[in-house]
């Protein structure tokens, strides 16, 4: 299969370029901010640690935030790629099946009903909300021992609409002053990047991304439609359930620590497809690296673009990302 070999070399080059872009983005993120850090200082801080201010800023503030951006961006892009294959819908993203609404309800409930000091449990509540709504959509869409993409999307829309109503009710009935924090959280924010949060998130992202990668040939077949996948020998219901739950878990876990960051999970998979094609053994690693680099860079822009404070990173992803990915998609149009 000469195509696989020739494509393999090109694929490795693309992967290396994306990895280099991610490393560059991480370094830029660690070096950028109110306290200037030179490249030498950065290397110094990384290798030797140290107690001077630049080293502490890099190690305890900026690097955790950059790594959080990497994990969140990579997880969103992987999850989005999986949902697009699973639902056979190029417009699918990680939030399409109720994960976002569930997470928002969980986060708002934590903000409204728990004492003010309990913000540490907000991620756990958001994760619980996301997991419950994803599970509800899956169970509602099941019929006759199987789920169809059409029913999943339908149930996702219905559950999402219901959760939106709950969100509006919570916002309008809550005492003033408690909501702005939660609303800002909804816009997406990587400011929660403490070493502890990163450590909590890491196993979810690593495990979820690996599990999706192991499902990649099944996802390839699902792209062809269920009948084709069935004829090729795929146990379609098991693969769909595994991919759905894994992709939802990935999305729910990153939403819990970073809020709702749009665009990455929708568009980055298409950008990665334009570079490496639709085979998921290539697409998933490429999408992870591209999403990670993209979100880290977007966060650098969000932190530095405005002198009056941070912008929501979710706004930056769409604002800065749309032109870039439009270019990529038009250029890669030959493959699509």
Which residues of this protein are in contact with another protein, per CB under 8 A?
1, 3-4, 84-85, 88-90, 214-215, 217-218, 220-221, 223-225, 227-228, 230-235, 273-274, 277-279, 334-336
Q: Where are the alpha helices (DSSP H) in 114-262?
A: 122-141, 149-173, 179-186, 195-214, 216-223, 226-231, 236-258
Query: Cα–Cα distance between 55 and 49 in angstroms, integer?
Result: 6
Closest contact distance (angstroms) between CB of 304 and another protein is: 36
Closest contact distance (angstroms) between CB of 230 and another protein is: 5
Closest contact distance (angstroms) between CB of 223 and another protein is: 5
**CB-wise, 14 or 167, nearer to another protein?**
14
**CB-wise, 49 or 146, nearer to another protein?**
146
**CB-wise, 56 or 88, nearer to another protein?**
88
Query: Cα–Cα distance between 153 and 150 in angstroms, integer?
Result: 5
**CB-wise, 52 or 228, nearer to another protein?**
228
**CB-wise, 48 or 227, nearer to another protein?**
227
**CB-wise, 45 or 229, nearer to another protein?**
229
Query: Cα–Cα distance between 104 and 163 in angstroms, integer?
Result: 8
264-276 vs 280-304: helix crossing angle, rounded to 10 = 130
Closest contact distance (angstroms) between CB of 210 and another protein is: 12
Query: Cα–Cα distance between 257 and 109 in angstroms, integer?
Result: 16
Closest contact distance (angstroms) between CB of 287 and another protein is: 13
Half-sphere exposure of 199 (CA within 13 A, CB side): 4
Return the DSSP state at 142.
E
With CA atoms as reference, report the closest residue to 150 among 93, 94, 89.
89
Closest contact distance (angstroms) between CB of 239 and another protein is: 9
Rg of the chain's alpha carbons, rounded to an integer? 20
């Amino acid at each position: 299969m000469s195509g696989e070999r020739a494509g393999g070399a090109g694929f490795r080059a693309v992967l290396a370029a994306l990895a280099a872009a991610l490393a560059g983005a991480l370094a830029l993120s660690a070096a950028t901010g109110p306290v200037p850090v030179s490249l030498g200082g950065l290397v110094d801080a990384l290798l030797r640690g140290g107690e001077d201010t630049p080293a502490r800023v890099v190690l305890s503030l900026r690097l955790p935030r950059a790594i959080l951006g990497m994990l969140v961006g990579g997880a969103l892009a992987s999850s989005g790629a999986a949902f697009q294959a699973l639902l056979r819908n190029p417009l699918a993203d990680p939030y399409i099946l109720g994960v976002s609404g569930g997470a928002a309800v969980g986060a708002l409930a934590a903000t409204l009903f728990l004492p003010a000091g309990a913000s540490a449990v907000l991620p756990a509540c958001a994760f619980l909300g996301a997991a419950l709504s994803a599970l509800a959509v899956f169970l509602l869409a099941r019929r006759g021992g199987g789920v169809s993409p059409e029913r999943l999307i339908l149930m996702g829309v219905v559950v999402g609409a219901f959760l939106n109503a709950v969100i509006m009710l919570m916002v309008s009935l809550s005492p003033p002053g408690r909501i702005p924090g939660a609303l800002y959280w909804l816009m997406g924010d990587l400011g929660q990047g403490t070493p502890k949060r990163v450590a909590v998130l890491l196993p979810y992202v690593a495990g979820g991304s690996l599990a999706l990668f192991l499902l990649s040939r099944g996802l390839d077949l699902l792209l062809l439609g269920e009948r084709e996948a069935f004829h090729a020998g795929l146990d379609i219901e098991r693969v769909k359930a595994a991919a759905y739950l894994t992709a939802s878990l990935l999305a729910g876990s990153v939403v819990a620590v970073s809020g709702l960051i749009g665009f990455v999970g929708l568009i980055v998979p298409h950008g990665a497809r334009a570079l490496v094609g639709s085979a998921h053994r290539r697409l998933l690693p490429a999408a992870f690296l591209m999403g990670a680099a993209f979100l880290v860079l977007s966060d650098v822009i969000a932190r530095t673009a405005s002198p009056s404070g941070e912008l929501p990173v979710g706004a930056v992803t769409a604002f800065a990302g749309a032109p870039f990915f439009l270019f990529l998609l038009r250029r890669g149009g030959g493959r699509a």
